[in-house]
Amino acid sequence: TGMFTYDPGFLATASCESAITYIDGDKGQLLYRGYPIEQLAENCDFMDVSYLILNGELPDDKQKQDFDSLVTHHTMVHEQLQLFMRGFRRDAHPMAVLTGLVGALSAFYHDSTDITNPRHREISAIRLIAKMPTLVAMAYKYNQGQPYIYPRNDLSYTGNFLRMMFATPCEDYQVNEVVERALDRIFILHADHEQNASTSTVRLCGSSGTNPFAAIAAGVACLWGPAHGGANEACLQMLEQLQAEGGVAKVGEFMEKVKDKSSGVRLMGFGHRVYKNYDPRAKLMQATCKEVLTALGLENDPLFKLAMELERIALEDPYFVDRKLYPNVDFYSGIVQRAIGIPTPLFTAIFALARTVGWIAQWDEMLSDPEYKIGRPRQLYTGSAVRDIKR
């Protein structure tokens, strides 16, 4: 391969050093700043985890309170963003809207352009984390044709998001604790995942010295694809379609289609580039799924039964076993979100909301390194040799 290492898809290339997230794909282990994801999901809320990812340590009570109030203080977005929203078709995909809105934030915060100043970087991080729920809820309300609901500062991060989504001016929304806890857990499980495609995008984009809102907008755009964050939406669509075609009785037939490569059908929510044993987030998500469905009286949810059946068959089938394909985080997260009342097209936007913490922490980590350089991959040229125009 001449002068360069050729590694399409980056199967064997480390692009950076990072102290944030550790994954052991063979063990099925995920750590944020050294803490196992299981312990974080059990003992912490999303604000604890955000603080941890950004600062390297879990907050004590005072630090937590200060962080909470700092984030709360920044949840409002500029009123003019409502005019920007109006330019979108009502049926626009929320990820299209979100890519635009996040990028547009850069036009409102001129201090964010000074990325060499750690104080400015920190305030941009807080603004992004604080405003994402507001923006996602705005995208939903616009699509529904309902008035926007402003953030309320006495609610938790996740409770506030639920209220901005589901309250109306005629009727307030009572936050159900089980629902709040489940969504908060979805946020925790999606908060960071080392150098995945969207995080690498944010780093590469940010390495040019661009504004953080622009870099995060690039991450949102990357996350949208069905091989990445879009998998949760694609997974639920797959389950719904299979249910409509006969449900559990048709699982065998469907699996034959998945195993036949020429069909182009993949079992969405299965497989992972790094996890080759199991995805620890999927286990936690499955448990949350059971909890939420029970609390909401939806234990007999046919899609959950269908998902369990698909998983059962796949875990015994040599096609999946040989290729080390296991359910990933997205296999059950869609069922939880659907039970909560979140419409399918919004799933990836919720993923983006949570991943913003990881993206911005990784961006900041990169810029804090005095040795950092603009990312600039090379290529193996396969085009024509030099030639002359003959006219």
Q: Tell me which residues are annotated as active site.
A: 272, 330
The sign of the CA dihedral 22, 27, 28, 31 is negative
The reply to whether 127 sits near ligand CMC by the rule CB under 6 A is no
Taking contact as CB under 6 A, which single stretch among the options 125-133, 150-158, 181-189, 321-329 is the one that binds ligand CMC? 321-329
The reply to whether 315 sits near ligand CMC by the rule CB under 6 A is no
Strand positions, DSSP E, the chain = 21-24, 29-32, 35-36
> In the complex, what is the shortest distance from the CB of residue 118 to ligand CMC, in angstroms, rounded to a whole number?
30
User: Do strands 29-32 and 35-36 pair parallel, antiparallel, or not at all (unpaired)?
Assistant: antiparallel
The reply to whether 202 sits near ligand CMC by the rule CB under 6 A is no
The reply to whether 180 sits near ligand CMC by the rule CB under 6 A is no
Any bridge partners for residue 22, and if so which? 31
The reply to whether 280 sits near ligand CMC by the rule CB under 6 A is no
Taking contact as CB under 6 A, which single stretch among the options 93-101, 113-121, 245-253, 322-330 is the one that binds ligand CMC? 322-330
- The rounded distance, in Å, linking the Cα atoms of 112 and 119 is 10
> In the complex, what is the shortest distance from the CB of residue 224 to ligand CMC, in angstroms, rounded to a whole number?
10
**For the chain, how big is the Rg over CA atoms in Å?**
22
Q: What strands, in cross-sheet order, belong to the sheet with 29-32?
A: 21-24, 29-32, 35-36
Q: Please report, as residue ranges, which positions from 226 to 255 form the binding site for ligand CMC (by CB under 6 A).
A: 227-229, 231
- The rounded distance, in Å, linking the Cα atoms of 237 and 334 is 9
User: Do strands 29-32 and 21-24 pair parallel, antiparallel, or not at all (unpaired)?
Assistant: antiparallel
The sign of the CA dihedral 85, 212, 156, 291 is positive
Among 33, 121, 141, 266, binds ligand CMC (CB under 6 A): 266
The reply to whether 321 sits near ligand CMC by the rule CB under 6 A is no
Among 157, 161, 213, 270, binds ligand CMC (CB under 6 A): 270
> In the complex, what is the shortest distance from the CB of residue 330 to ligand CMC, in angstroms, rounded to a whole number?
5
Any bridge partners for residue 24, and if so which? 29
When CB distances to ligand CMC are compared, the closest residue is 271
- The rounded distance, in Å, linking the Cα atoms of 44 and 346 is 25
User: Helices 212-223 and 118-144 meet at what angle, rounded to 10?
Assistant: 50
The reply to whether 285 sits near ligand CMC by the rule CB under 6 A is no
Among 47, 325, 357, 366, binds ligand CMC (CB under 6 A): 325
Q: Which is nearer to ligand CMC, 76 or 226 (CB)?
A: 226
Query: Do residues 336 and 186 touch, judged by C-beta distance below 8 A?
Result: yes
> Binders of ligand CMC: how many residues, by CB under 6 A?
19
Residues that bind ligand CMC (CB under 6 A): 196, 227-229, 231, 258, 266-273, 323, 325, 328-330
